[in-house]
Structure 1
Amino acid sequence: MTTTTGNAVRHGAWPSPIDAATAAAHDGSPEYVGVVGEDIWWTAPRPAEAGRRALIRRRPDGTEECPLPAPWNVRSRVIEYGGTPWAGAVVDGAPLLVFANFADQRLYAFRPDEPRTAPRPLTPVGAVGGGLRWADLTVHSDRGEVWGVLEEFTGERPTDVRRVPAAVPLDGSAAEDRTAVRELTAATHRFVTGPRLSPDGRRAAWTAWDHPLMPWDGTQLRIADVTADGTFDGARTLIGGPEESVTQVDWAADGSLLAATDRTGWWNLHRVDPATGEAVNLCPREEEFGNALWKLGQRWFAPLDHGPVAVLHGVGALRLGLLDPATGEVADAPGHWTEWNPTLAAAGSRVIGVAAGARTSYELVELDVTTGRTRVIGNAHHDTVDPAYVPDAVARTFTGPGGREVHAQVYPPRNPRVTGEGPAPYAIWVHGGPTSRALMVLDLEIAYFTSRGIGVAEVNYGGSTGYGRAYRNRLREQWGVVDVEDCAAVAQGLVAEGAADPARLAIRGGSAGGWTSAAALTSTDTYACGTVIYPILDLLGWSRAGGETHDFESEYLESLIGPLDDVPERYRDRSPVNHGDRIDVPFLLLQGLDDVICPPVQCERFLEAVAGRGVPHAYLTFEGESHGFRRLDTMITALEAELALYGQVFGFTAEGVAPLELHT
């Protein structure tokens, strides 16, 4: 073991076996789990294959295969963040799969047991704007259709778009004919989720909302009768409103309508009367049984045929449990997993989900309800690096301004070959959203830094999900204030207890986290440098008036900042682009050139504002990358550039990493 004495081994220069390629290769997790017959299917990241999402099949004997080779990319662009991009059913004794292909956003059908038969298109290519897109799919083989959300562009602007529940014939008759797509109901709402058909086939339920609301602000649970010709009749709202978020709806086998709604201040599971809208809380707790709906089709609960409901629940981290609707009792599944993704599937006596822990990567986990046992059935964790180099994560609560609680995950430096001396440099990581949450799971990108002697703290600032509506609402009209203050509170708390060096603090984040990072660099003197990734930097440009983002978030700022018509000065005053004269520390900007959510023009405008001021900075752009880096080479470059920045600012040499060329 090497012990630091003086400057023998500076924090940041500790020898580590975790290189950027190793960290990047294990980025991402399985998603969109489903059961077709006896097989389990899901999508999986493939960073080395241009960042595509592959469709994986697990047979009952445990063998896995990927029946769709590259370049097939099973990923939807609906609301740009996507949604469930595939669905399947057993038809004529064999599986039939329908999926959205990322390149053209068409739906395709294929028979995985007929490998010589290529996928055949079911929908046409849209000729206007962003075209026709599909998500939140369900195959109804008895009706000869696949149901889902149709997103259809009506013009060239990002906001020239309509969304409606729709049905596509499985026979391919709509492949070149838009008129063969059957709209199930009128497009009366800006946003909808995929319709869920009742067990008797007589009713359908879905959620809907409109600008300027986001789905965690307020949604409506909609229900309609299904007529003999398959269209919806008498659509009406059962529950919901501008201050009630219904985040998921589904039917139990007995015909009960279930919904996760936060009418109590927490997303709890309710039984809703389809006739009257009377809602009964099945398990009243100050816990979340749902979360923010960022992708259409996310599932935090899944009813089982014999009565229980598989649920994800908790404060902060969500765990898997079985809820008895009759008693309100929840029995948690055994296992070491501390975080479960919103992608539950139920079949017979099995519940399948995706889970990870602080020292294990995302795995496909099956709960056998009859025995109460859990087992890993796919994407099993293997130690790709020596666990001794993985940090020991600690969930912490810090004190922010006014005594408010600020939740965070702290990852101290850890390396079996080095014992650090004195306070360490720390990077404050800011999650995106901002209505989201940092998850305490194994992340080799974090270990890339902590194994070299740089601590990481992920901040779940006010506005984050998982802690109830009141905590979430702290950010209303306070974006750029509460988030910045809470991140600083964590950094200062780590300094006060002697863990962090006040002269060697960094801040980093992507998307909304990039906004907070840039806002912190231009409004505080807490940090010595920052890494700003595909950020929002100009609120007026990103607003509904500026038109520099996509439709889904085009009016998000109405709640985060305030109504544009009422407080235009607030949009100007809080924007980092208007405060280039206030930044005086080095920074790194990372941007995908195909990003339509946070476009490159935001970075370019910010660079113009700081030009000629002598502030060292670097701007790296990446062809073929959109919002969220997915390609292996991009992620490697980004990680190494970030480490190089810290080395140049904090005074260490990053072994094996090229110096970052900084401009002034």
Structure 2
Amino acid sequence: MPPERPPISTADVARSALRLGFPTVRGDEVWWEEDRPAEAGRRTIVHRAADGSRRELLDAPWDARTRVHEYGGRSYVVVPGVGVIFANHADQRLYLTDGGPPRPVTAASEDRYGDLLWGDGVLWCVRERHHDDGKVSRGLVSVTLDGEVIEVISGSDFYASPALSPDGEHLAYICWNHPRMPWTGTELRITRLEDRSSWTVKGGMSESVLSPQWRDNRNLYLVSDWSGWWNLYQIGIFGTSSQALYPAEEEFAGPLWELGGLPYLMLGDGRLAVLHGQGDLRLGILDPETSTLIDLDVPYTGWAPALSADGTTLVGIGYGSDVPRSVVRVDVVTGRVEGLRRDIAELPDIAYLPVPHAVEIEGSFGRRIHAYRYPPNTPEPAPYVVFVHGGPTGHATTELSLEKAFFTTRGIGVLEVNYGGSTGYGRAYRERLRGQWGIVDVEDTVAAAQWLAAAGHADPARITVRGSSAGGWTVMAACAAATVFCGGVSIAGVSALAPLVAATHDFESRYIEWLVGSESLYASREPLSRAGEVSCPMLLMQGLADPVVPPTQAEAFAAALTERGIPCTYLSFEGESHGFRRLESKTAALAAELAFYEQLFRPEH
């Protein structure tokens, strides 16, 4: 009899990536963003009416994506009684749609707009300007529906999270300057709109303050890692009476890679809907008067930091290890939970979905390393792939992934490692990577692979490693530093630091100063300088329109390996940016990756 056909195909995985995000609720209506992989990876806005009917607001070729900071974030805002304003990817102009053809709001220019907020009859947002001399500047602006743009605040390198006071007199926001990143040091500032006077409320060079929201006209809520964890605080508008609402060794927010997300918000009854935890973030209700926090009884074990509320109705993006990423509506009074839209329309039998096992691994110098192990559907020891997340200031979650199931149903286990430097485990864990990129991340990834073999989960001769972006850097560096891997897959990985610093986008242009340090250290860390130490085959994949990690990074590493006689396959994808969005690209990349592993895992290899 022919062998049983695996239940999950490359096309199933590619089609599942709708990337549901950034929901908004107003009364009984809900809006959200979702991708169209089969339509060149464009992003659209979906509206769910009060009667439950669902409508796509933007037909092709419209693509609702902002490029502020290149990573973008929320691309739209609902204007009550008028329609939806969104940023269009192709020209980065703002457009308004009331359900019909979009009309332009802003004039054609090189400007980009993000972090959109509607308040007091105008749009408030971050404007990013790209000048003829190559410089980039940012400010907070107001935009009227007839297209008048007024710069209200400027002077800092970066801005985020504009929040208008209930009386419309003050604008709160987050700002920071090079070389800091939003997870290393930010300031919460307030501007009095009448006279444009501004002052700092909280934050500084070594404190990450995020997501200000107004409690009333004189007090705000915010998230700060002053204690070592991103916790919630209340503070007066002049920085007085700072009060921790629920001190805990948990995170109440995540790293600010994308603009426009809300990790907590105030409900109509004064309580706060919050996300909190280590690793995955749970959904709970916090009473700021009593500091009582109660988790909601919902079938979603993790949530994306993108909440919206109207009264006591809450919407968010929830997920579980066996529940697809979903747009979820919760009535916090009745406890009713509704899944409005799922990332994956039809799931395979639950028996095919791997169950994540949270593990702690001892690394170099006794360091604790967090990871999730997804066993294969065959007896162990088995071949394994170590997944390395990007960022590097990010983290892996237990969100259901057909990509992982694609491998585990083929007898290949997955270990996803949250190496030192990952978020989700406090500032001290993040700070492990300060000045140590290419050392700590590599050591932790190698230690995770060694643990797999020592614990009897993996066949020591059949362990590979894969990662994207910063994860690709770790893959290449780990394959040079150790012999525990029989192969490596890097997707849009960084191989050389000086060319990256010279060519990458402004947001991360000085990130390397925190991650590595002075240029004198580059050669000892970067994979390209150590290509001669790689002894295993490698697969490199790269989007040719990537503004974050230019294709020259993969091309140079592939050429160095080939010159040294190391088997290396380099695949490039026309029109793809930093992360593949198109159905055909996703399908081809996953098929190539599987073929690479199958060749390495053959008994005779």
Local SS of the residue matching 1:252: strand
Contact 1:268 1:281 in 2 (8 A): yes
Q: Who is 2:405 aligned against?
A: 447
Q: Deviations over 1:315-338 (max 9, x none)?
A: 111011111000111111112211
Does residue 150 (structure 1) correspond to residue 133 (structure 2)? The answer is: no
Gap change, CA 1:150 and 1:652, over 3 Å in 2: farther
Task: Indicate the SS of the match to 1:68.
Answer: coil
| Shift, 1:156, TM fit | 5.0
Superposition deviation, residue 261 in structure 1? 0.6
Which of 282, 293, 296 is equivalent to 2:256? 293
Counterpart in the other structure of 1:125: 108
CA distance in 2, matches of 1:295, 1:277: 30
Are residues 1:435 and 2:435 paired?
A: no
**Higher mean C-alpha displacement, 489-498 vs 512-521:** 489-498
2:505 aligned residue:
550
| Structure 2 residue aligned with 1:342 | 305
> CA separation in 2, counterparts of 1:388 and 1:255?
54
Structure 1 pair 647–106 and aligned structure 2 pair: CA distance change class (3 A): same
Q: Confirm or deny: 8 A CA contact 2:279 2:396 kept in the other structure.
A: no
Name segments (4+ residues, structure 1) moved above 6 Å. Answer: none
For residues 4 and 418 of structure 2, the distance between their equivalents in structure 1, rounded to whole angstroms, comes to: 28
Offset at residue 155 of structure 1 (A): 2.7
Tell me, in whole angstroms, the C-alpha distance in 2 between the residues paired with 1:30 and 1:645.
30
1:629 is matched by which residue type in structure 2?
A: F
1:574 aligns with 2:525: yes
Asked if the contact 2:561–2:567 (Cα under 8 Å) also holds between the matched residues in 1, the reply is no
1:651 maps to 2:602? yes
Change (3 A) 1:613 1:629: same
Matching residue's letter, 1:182: I
- The answer to whether structure 1 residue 320 and structure 2 residue 283 are counterparts is yes
| Residue identity matched to 1:480 | G
Aligned CA distance change for structure 1 residues 310 and 647 (closer, same or farther; 3 Å)? same
Deviation at 1:28, TM superposition (A): 4.3
Tell me whether 1:206 sits opposite 2:173 in the alignment.
Answer: yes
Asked if 1:137 is matched to 2:116, the reply is yes
Structure 2 Cα separation of the partners of residues 442 and 192 of structure 1 = 33
Please identify, of 25-34 and 40-49, the stretch whose mean Cα deviation from structure 2 is larger.
Answer: 25-34
Q: 2:90 aligns with which of 84, 94, 103?
A: 103
The CA deviation string for residues 23-79 of structure 1, in whole angstroms up to 9 with x for no partner, is 111024211111245411010111111111110001112111102111111110000
In the alignment, structure 1 residue 492 sits paired with structure 2 residue 450: yes
Q: Distance in 2 between matches of 1:218 and 1:77?
A: 23
How far apart, in 2, do the equivalents of 1:163 and 1:652 lie?
56
Asked whether the 8 Å contact 1:165–1:194 carries over to 2, the reply is: no
* 1:147 and 1:194 in contact (8 A); partners too: no
What is the CA deviation profile of residues 240-291 of structure 1, one whole-angstrom value per residue up to 9, with x for unaligned ones?
A: 0011001211113575311011111001110011023442111111111111
- Secondary structure in 2 aligned to 1:361? coil
Which residue type is aligned with residue 33 of structure 2? Answer: T
Counterpart CA distance in 2 for 1:249 and 1:561 is: 31
Within 5 Å, which residues of 2 pair with 1:21-36?
21-36=11-26
Indicate whether 1:39 and 2:14 are aligned.
Answer: no
Describe the shift of the 1:337–1:363 C-alpha distance in structure 2 as closer, same or farther (beyond 3 A). same
Query: Which residue of 228, 252, 276 corresponds with 2:215?
Result: 252
Structure 1 residue matching 2:113: 3-state secondary structure? strand
- CA RMSD between the two structures: 1.7
Deviations 1:292-322 (A, max 9, x none): 1111112101111221011000111101111
Aligned equivalents of 2:442 and 2:257: distance in 1?
A: 23
Deviates more, 1:508-517 or 1:607-616: 607-616
Contact kept? 2:421, 2:430, Cα under 8 Å: yes
User: CA 1:580 to 1:168, structure 2 compared with 1: closer, same or farther past 3 Å?
Assistant: same
Percent sequence identity over aligned pairs:
44
Cα distance in 1 for partners of 2:344, 2:573 equals 30
Deviations 1:360-415 (A, max 9, x none): 1111112212123322223376543222211121111111111111000111102x
Shift of the 155–37 alpha-carbon distance from structure 1 to 2, 3 Å rule, reads farther
C-alpha contact (below 8 Å) 1:252/1:304 kept by paired residues: no
Match of 1:190 among 157, 167, 187: 157
SS of the residue aligned with 2:589?
Answer: helix
**Residues 615-646 of structure 1, C-alpha deviations (whole Å, 9 max, x = no match):** 11111001110001111100111101011111
Match of 1:72 in 2: 62
Structure 1 residues 217 and 380, CA, compared in 2 at 3 Å: closer, same or farther?
closer
AA at the equivalent of 2:17: D
Does residue 481 (structure 1) correspond to residue 439 (structure 2)? The answer is: yes
* Kept in 2: contact 1:151–1:161 (CA 8 A): yes
Taking the aligned partners of 1:58 and 1:457, their CA distance within structure 2 comes to: 38
Q: Give the corresponding residue for 1:332.
A: 295
Q: 1:14 to 1:254 in 2, by over 3 A?
A: farther
Q: Which residue of 1 aligns with 2:183?
A: 216
1:207 is aligned with what amino acid?
I
Secondary structure of 2:324 counterpart: strand
Select 2:480's aligned residue among 503, 519, 522.
522
Q: What number of residue pairs does the alignment pair up?
A: 604
* CA distance, structure 2, for counterparts of residue 333 and residue 37 of structure 1: 21
Which amino acid is the alignment partner of residue 96 of structure 1? G
Unaligned runs of 5+ in 1: 3-8, 175-179, 415-419, 654-664
Q: Which residue of 2 aligns with 1:508?
A: 466
Q: Structure 2-normalised TM-score? A: 0.97
Equivalent residue number for residue 198 of structure 2: 235
Unmatched runs of 5 consecutive residues or more in structure 2: none
Please name the residue that 1:636 is paired with.
587
Q: Distance in 2 between matches of 1:389 and 1:283?
A: 39
Matched, 1:583 2:573: no
Say if 2:42 is the partner of 1:62. Answer: no
Change (3 A) 1:387 1:403: same
Q: How does 1:394-409 map to 2 (within 5 A)?
A: 394-409=357-372
CA separation in 2, counterparts of 1:192 and 1:89?
22
| Separation (CA, whole Å) in 2 of partners of 1:36 and 1:105 | 26
Aligned twin of 1:6: none
AA matched with 2:114: A
Secondary structure at 1:506 match in 2: strand
Matches of 1:422 and 1:317 in 2, distance apart?
27
What is the CA–CA distance in structure 2 between the aligned matches of 1:365 and 1:181, rounded to whole Å?
Answer: 35
Q: TM-score with structure 1 length normalisation?
A: 0.89
CA separation in 2, counterparts of 1:310 and 1:407?
A: 27
CA separation of 1:168 and 1:652: change in aligned 2, threshold 3 A? farther
Structure 2 residue aligned with 1:611: 562
Letter in 2 for 1:580: A
Distance 1:226 1:539, change over 3 A: same
Distance in 2 between residues matched to 1:407 and 1:258, nearest whole Å: 30
- Contact 1:14–1:453 (8 Å) recurs in 2: no
